[in-house]
Structure 1
Amino acid sequence: MADFKDQIVEIQETIARIEQKLDQINIAQASIRDLREIKNRVYKEAISGARERREIFATLDAIQKSIAALQANARARLDRRTDIPATELRVGIFVDVQNIFYAAKPFNARLDFEKLLELSVGKRRLIRAIAYVVQSPDVDQSNFISMLQQKSYEVKRKDLRQRSDGSAKGDWDMGMAIDIMRFVDKLDVVVLVSGDGDFVPLVDLVKTLGPRVEVISFTYNTARDLINSADEHIPIEEALLLRNSAQAESAT
């Protein structure tokens, strides 16, 4: 009887060892599966990463080629600009009317837009002259705008916006920048009539694309960085001013 019990115990122990082995095998198999899954995932990520790297490098290469093309175009434009006669230089004039209007106030004067055009163009070829006007609802600017149009300016108008706190906002910085970039490949000279320092990045960009940039403004009211950034700064002086009279038109 004792031998039988001993045999049962031995069988149970054997079964337990077998089950333990089976558990170990299952754990090992599970670990192997996990490792295989990890390997496959890493492999897929590596392939995906390689694809992404290729795409990134291809994009960077395309960007570099675009930069090189722009630089080559800018060099060609610069070379062309120095070679062509002054009478063939294409000029675009962009006037920040509000900026100049307020800068002229301390002189009890206003800008002579006809003389401004003559000075800006000289012997060169005018492509476009645009005056950017901010309209106030309580000021009649119809005569002023008609005068600009008669003197060959295209007039772009924007309404002065009243804020809820009672202050007002109206500027053409973004609109002027968009127009200048729209015309940049059709111009050899960009004339910016403004003293606003916010135009410095635009001036730097335009110069890299080829055109010469001339800034016309009141020196006292012009950002130093803008003067330094421009190829040339032309100060507005007495010869470009009209003294205000009681009937003088308002610009804003």
Structure 2
Amino acid sequence: MAAHAARLGTVQETLLIPLYGRAVETRKQDAALRDPRAEEIVASIDYDFTRFDDLPSLIGTVLRTSLFDRWVADFLAAQPTGTVVEIGTGLNTRYERVDNGQARWFDLDLPDVIELRRRFVTDSGRRTMLAASVTDETWTEAVVAQSDGPYFFAAEAVLPFLEEGDVRHVIDLLADRFPGSLLALDTAGPGFIDTQNQHDALSKVDARMRWACADPAQLADRRPGSRLLASHTLTSLTSGMHDKLPAAYREMLSGLAAQRLPQVEEYRLNLIRLPRTGRPPLR
């Protein structure tokens, strides 16, 4: 079978890093996450994935995905018929990992990504792909028209690549159109942004993060009624998740915590409850 070419924009190319991370992780005897579908997709794409071999950040992407998986699974346990929207879905396979057979799913990304994604994923009665920018309000109309909520929005490795004004627009859009919803997102502090040219994975691609967020609590503060429910670095994961990691990973994270590197300590994984009623944002 011929391999599929990955004709992607500069930022969109970064989706291949976590995809490869999950594929590599799946091959390990003692894995933090298993994703056979990621292995199949990697094998079907014409791309030099070897540039990411042996990078510590591959493990970081796996841990991030694992935490987002837990948050989505917890949401579906409480709201079995709820709606999950993957913002900047890339070639993520969270549906295959945590779907409960009842939820409604939407996979949102730019047209070039959705074109590639359609080679591996098909729409179904409960799963729909949407080709649009997250900053474009039209995609929200499709979600509202086809689902009733409640809603969980997973923005994994997406918003830091936007300008700050666009990030604010996206959060305001979600808060206004989907009040009371949950939003999972990652943030990168100024020290991370300033050193990303030396980052082991980002240095291998042309894309760069643009939005620096020193304090994720400020995201909730600008929308009255919002709450920051959780905020973790990779070295401060929940005890339930940390204790189940392979021993080698626990040892690695302990060593990283002692070093207090900006690329580790200023990169956070956050869960926000958006306000239950729409109110004007703070400017």
Bin for the TM-score computed over the shorter chain: 0.3 to 0.5
Higher helix proportion: 1
TM-score (norm 1): 0.35
TM-score (norm 2): 0.32
The structure that has the greater radius of gyration is: 1
